[in-house]
Amino acid sequence: MNLVILLAIAFGGALITYFSGKISKKLRDIFAVLISLALIGIVTGFYNVSSRNIFYTGFFDFPLILRIDTFSWFFAITTVALGSLCIIFSLSYIRTREKTDFYYLMMLLVNAAMLGIVLAGDLISLFVFWEIMSWSTFLLISYNQGHALAAGMKYIVMSIIGSLVMLVGILSLYTSFNTFDISQIAYGMSSASTGYILFILIIFGITFGIKNAVMPFHTWLPDAYAEAPSPFTAVLSGMLTRMGIYGFLLLMYVMVGLSSVITSKLLSFHYILTWLGAITIVIPTFIAMLQNDAKKLLAWHGIGQGGYMILGIAFGTNYALVGGIFHTLNHAIYIVLLFLSVAAVQYRTHGERDLNSLGGLIKKMPVAFIGALLGISGLIGIPLTNGFVSKWIIYKTLIIEGAPFLAFAALIGTWGTILSVYKFIHNMFLGQLPERYKDVTKLPINMQIPIVILSAAILLFGILPGIVLKVINSIVHSFGFEPLNVTLWGIASDTGALNMVNIFALILAASLVIWFIFKRIRKSIKINQYDSYAAGTTVPKDKYHYSVNFYDPLYRMISPYLKDFIDDFYMILARSIKNAGNGIRRIYSGDVGYYVMYIILFLALLIFIQINWELW
C-alpha cells in the first residue's frame, strides 16, 4: 500500500464524513467510525516497512516526500488508534449538540494532519500539515463558544508564534543546504558548525516546546484543555500535544543526530533542556493540587507529564530515551482514559466538572470509575500499570548516571501527583452521592468500549512492557544508541533488572489468598451511605462529604508561591502591545487635515535639517 493513499483516505474520509452528515446523521456516524478504524488497519500493515514516496513536485520543483520507518510508524499507530477510540466515544457525547458535522470533520482532519506530520519526509510538508493541525485544533477548542473562544485565541496566538519561528528555521536550513528533504539535511548537519547547530536546535526547540507545553511556553494548555469538548481534549492531550515530542526527537536525533551532539559538545543544550523538563515536572504538578476543575487538574498534569518525556529524551542515554518515548505512549493511553472518564461523568451530570459538587458516583458509573482508577494509577505509576515501567527506566538511568537532583525532581513530581489525583477520584466517585444524582444511569455501550480497551491496555503494557519496548528499542537503535536488553516482562540488566511478571504474580497471589480468607469469615452486612458514623447525630443529606479544600493546610502554605507568574507576564505583554497599538492608532485619525499637517511637518523638518546642516 502506498503512503499517499493512506493520507488520501485520511483527508478524503474527513470530507466524505462531513458531506454524508448533510444526508443522514446515521450514515455520518458510520463513516466516521469506519474511516478511523480503516486507518488503524492500514497503518498496522506498515509495521516494519521502510518506504519513501515523492508525492508532489509542483511546488517550485521541490519534491514533497512521505516516508515511514519504525519511528514514524510508532507515532502513527498511536495517533490513529487513540483517535478512533475518541471518535467512537464521541458518538453519543456529541449527539445532542449543534454543528456535529463540523465537529466530526475537524476531529478527522486533526487526526489526518497528525498522520501527515509523522509521515512527512521534508520540511515543507511538515510545515503544511503542522498548520492544518494547529488551525483545526483552534476551531475545535473554540467549539463550545463563551470562555472557549478566549482559550482558543490564546492557543492560536502561541501556535502562530511557534509556526513563524519554525518557518524561519526552515528557510535558514534551506539557504544553508539548498534542500527541504530531512534526510539530506541530516547529512548536511553532520558537517555544520556548532554555532549553527545550536541555532537550529533553539529555533525548532521553541516551536516544539510551545506545542509540548514545556515551561515557560505552557500557558495555552490549561485553558485549552479545560474548554475544549471533552473527547477532543482527550485527543489534544494524548497525541496532539505530543507532536512536540515527535518534533524534539526528529530534531535532536534525526536532523542533528547523536554523533554531532557528542563530537561538538552540544551537551549544554541537552543539559538546559533536562532542567526545563525537571521544572516542568515539579511546578505544574503542585499547581494541579490547587485546582477544583476536573479537566484543569488533568491539564496541569498533562504539562507535568510532558516534563518526564522531555527529561527522558534530553538526558540522552539509551535508557532515558527508551523511557521518554515509552512514557509518551503510556501518558497518551492513561490521559485519554482519564479525559474520557471525565467526559462520561460530564455526559451524565449535565456537564458538571467542578470537583466540589460531585461525589459518590462509583455506585452509578462503575465503568467510568474503573477507567479513572486505572488512569490515575498509571499517572502515579503504581506498579503493574504502564506508567510505572517508563518512569522506572527514567529514574534508574538518572540515578546510575549520577544526576540525583533530576531524579529528585522526577520523584517528587510523583508524590505531588498522588495528592491531586486522589482528590480527583475521591471528590468525583467516592464519598456521599448527592441526592440530585441518584437517578444517574449507566453509560451507553459506545462510551464503555473505549474506556475498557484503554484500561486493559494500561495493565497489559504494565505487566508485559516488552511488547512495546521491543519496538522502541529498534527506534532508539536507529538513532545510533546501543539497544537495551529487553525481555517480554521487563528489562534484564547488570545494574538492576526489572521483572513485572514476578511482581504481578505476587500481588495477584497475595490478593487471592487474602480474599479467600476474607470470604470464608463471617459475611459482612451491606449498609447504605446514610448508615454511617456521625458522632451520635443523624447523617445530613447532601452535606456529609469532605471535598472542598481537601488539602487545606497545604494550600495555605504553598498557594502564595504557586501563581502562574509566566501567564501573568504574557498577559502584561499582550496588554502593553495592545496599548501601544491604541497609541499608534491615534496618529491615523482618518481626518485629512491631520495628514496634511503630518506632511507639512515632515517637509518643515527636512527643510530645517537642510538649512542647518546642508546634508544634501
Partner 1 sequence: MTTILEIIIVILLAGIIGLFFLGLSRKIMARIHWRYGPPIAQPVIDIIKLFNQTSMSHGILFNFGIIFSLAGSVVVLLFLPLGRICPLSGSGGLLVILYLMLVAPLGLTLSGGEAANPYASIGISRIFLLAMGYEVPLLLILLSVMTHYNSISIVQIVSIQLQTGWSFQHLPLLLPGIAYILIFPAILGLRPFELIQAPQEISSGPMAEYGGKFLALATIQHAFNVFIGISLFTNLFLGGAENPGYFFLKMLAVFIIFLFVNAVFPRFRIEQAIRYLWKWPTLLAFAGLVIVMITG
Please provide the DSSP assignment of 310-339 as one string.
HHHHHH-SHHHHHHHHHHHHHHHHHHHHHH
CB of 473 to partner 1, least distance (A): 19
The only residue of 135, 246, 550, 570 in contact with partner 1, by rule CB under 8 A: 550
Q: How far is CA 132 from CA 129, 265, 289, 421, in A?
A: 5, 36, 34, 34
In the shown chain, the binding pattern of residues 387 to 426 toward partner 1, with x for contact by CB under 8 A and - for none, equals -x---x--xx--xx-x-xx-xx--xx--xx-xx--x--xx
Phi-psi group of 476: left, alpha or beta (phi > 0 → left; psi -120 to 50 → alpha; rest → beta): alpha
For residue 10 the three cell numbers come to: 485520511
Nearer Cβ to partner 1, position 405 or 594?
405
Burial (CB count <10 Å: 0-12, 13-18, 19+), residue 74: buried
Other beta carbons less than 10 A from residue 174's beta carbon: 15
Size of the site for partner 1 (CB under 8 A): 70
The only residue of 521, 584, 611, 615 in contact with partner 1, by rule CB under 8 A: 521
The only residue of 7, 185, 333, 433 in contact with partner 1, by rule CB under 8 A: 433
* Residue found by looking up cell 487474602 in the block: 514
CB of 567 to partner 1, least distance (A): 25
CB of 299 to partner 1, least distance (A): 21
Please provide the DSSP assignment of 10-36 as one string.
HHHHHHHHHHHHHH-HHHHHHHHHHHH
Task: Establish if 285 lies at the interface with partner 1 (CB under 8 A).
Answer: no
CB of 298 to partner 1, least distance (A): 18
Site residues (CB under 8 A) for partner 1, limited to 323-382: 360, 362-363, 373, 377, 380-382
Binding window for partner 1 (CB under 8 A); candidates: 173-181, 329-337, 434-442, 507-515: 507-515
CB of 187 to partner 1, least distance (A): 39
CB of 53 to partner 1, least distance (A): 44
Nearer Cβ to partner 1, position 222 or 490?
490
604: CB partners within 8 A, 6+ apart: none
Nearer Cβ to partner 1, position 561 or 616?
561
Nearer Cβ to partner 1, position 17 or 317?
317
CB of 471 to partner 1, least distance (A): 22
Nearer Cβ to partner 1, position 196 or 405?
405
* Residue found by looking up cell 467526559 in the block: 343
CB of 331 to partner 1, least distance (A): 17
Dihedral of the alpha carbons of 450, 456, 459, 461, in degrees to the nearest 10: -80
Q: How far is CA 314 from CA 61, 111, 190, 275, in A?
A: 36, 27, 19, 9
Task: Establish if 55 lies at the interface with partner 1 (CB under 8 A).
Answer: no
Shortest CA distance to 269 belongs to which of 324, 215, 314?
A: 314
CB of 530 to partner 1, least distance (A): 8
Other beta carbons less than 10 A from residue 309's beta carbon: 30
For residue 131 the three cell numbers come to: 498548520
Q: How far apart are the C-alpha atoms of 548 and 423, rounded to whole Å? A: 10
608: CB partners within 8 A, 6+ apart: none
Q: Are 172 and 219 in contact (CB under 8 A)?
A: no
Binding window for partner 1 (CB under 8 A); candidates: 57-65, 95-103, 343-351, 502-510: 502-510
Q: Are 299 and 237 in contact (CB under 8 A)?
A: yes
Task: Establish if 613 lies at the interface with partner 1 (CB under 8 A).
Answer: no
Residue 241 phi, psi dihedral angles, 5° rounding: -65, -30
CB of 350 to partner 1, least distance (A): 23
Nearer Cβ to partner 1, position 134 or 305?
305
Shortest CA distance to 117 belongs to which of 243, 227, 239?
A: 243
Residues forming contacts to partner 1 in the complex (CB under 8 A) are 360, 362-363, 373, 377, 380-383, 388, 392, 395-396, 399-400, 402, 404-405, 407-408, 411-412, 415-416, 418-419, 422, 425-426, 430-433, 490, 495-499, 502-503, 506-507, 510-511, 514-515, 518, 521-522, 524-527, 529, 531-535, 544-547, 550-551, 553-554, 556-557
